[in-house]
Amino acid sequence: MTVLTGFGSDLTVHQLLETHLREQLGNLTVPKSLSWSSTLGEVWSSGKRLILSYNQQQLVASSDLLWTGVSQQWGNVDTLDGLYNYLAGVMNNPPTNVGWSAMAELTPSAWQVITDSLGGLRKMADTVNRNVTAWYKGSWGKTVNVVAVDFFKGTAIVDAAIDWNDRRAKQSSCSSVQKTKTGA
């Protein structure tokens, strides 16, 4: 087994990782030719279930295995209202033709962590998670790719994702660009 260290600017280490991923997971991987604009139905029809997204653009450009990296939409806010307002802005104008993640977590300041003014990370996450689940069970679930939450067992976000993916399978793309397939 090859030991990989130092993922700096040296492309060699990234290429070694890609080789390892290909050997271990290549037969499960959705071909990059489908792209983020493919429908979930098209992805499922490929018989593959794994998308490998990677943030080293030079390697991604030369690979038939690795998809472009997922864009993380961070609000960097420390209140529930601030998070809602940030995510509402993202959901009203979502990224297109890329995989993206709504980072549905609060970002406390160092002082808030030190003084425990938010009651701890678990309490903060619990307050947020109940609301995030409701937001994404609604219309926001129609166009989001990924929702990242802290302590996901305190949410029903997985159930919301399954429900929306069932609805989206035949009519919308993996990115947020909506398209209708003829005959679907």
Domain boundary at 35, 51, 68, which? 68
**pTM of the predicted structure, to 2 decimals:** 0.74
The answer to whether residue 179 scores a pLDDT higher than 80 is no
In this structure, the answer to whether residues 42 and 110 fall within a common structural domain is no
Same structural domain, 47 and 27: yes
Per-residue pLDDT reduced to its tens digit, 103-162: 999 988 899 888 988 888 888 888 898 899 999 998 898 888 889 998 877 788 899 888
Closest residue by Cα to residue 136 from 174, 165, 99: 165
Verify that 75 and 164 share a domain, yes or no: yes
Q: Is residue 137 part of a domain?
A: yes
pLDDT score recorded for residue 177: 41
Residue 3 resides in a domain: no
Query: In which domain, by residue range, is 130 found?
Result: 71-168
User: What is the pLDDT averaged over residues 28-35?
Assistant: 92
Is the pLDDT at 6 greater than 90, yes or no?
no
Residues 103, 133: one domain?
Answer: yes
Do 104 and 29 belong together in one domain? Answer: no
Number of domains the chain contains? 2
64 and 98 housed in the same domain: no
Residues 88 and 116 in one domain: yes
Q: Are residues 137 and 93 in the same domain?
A: yes
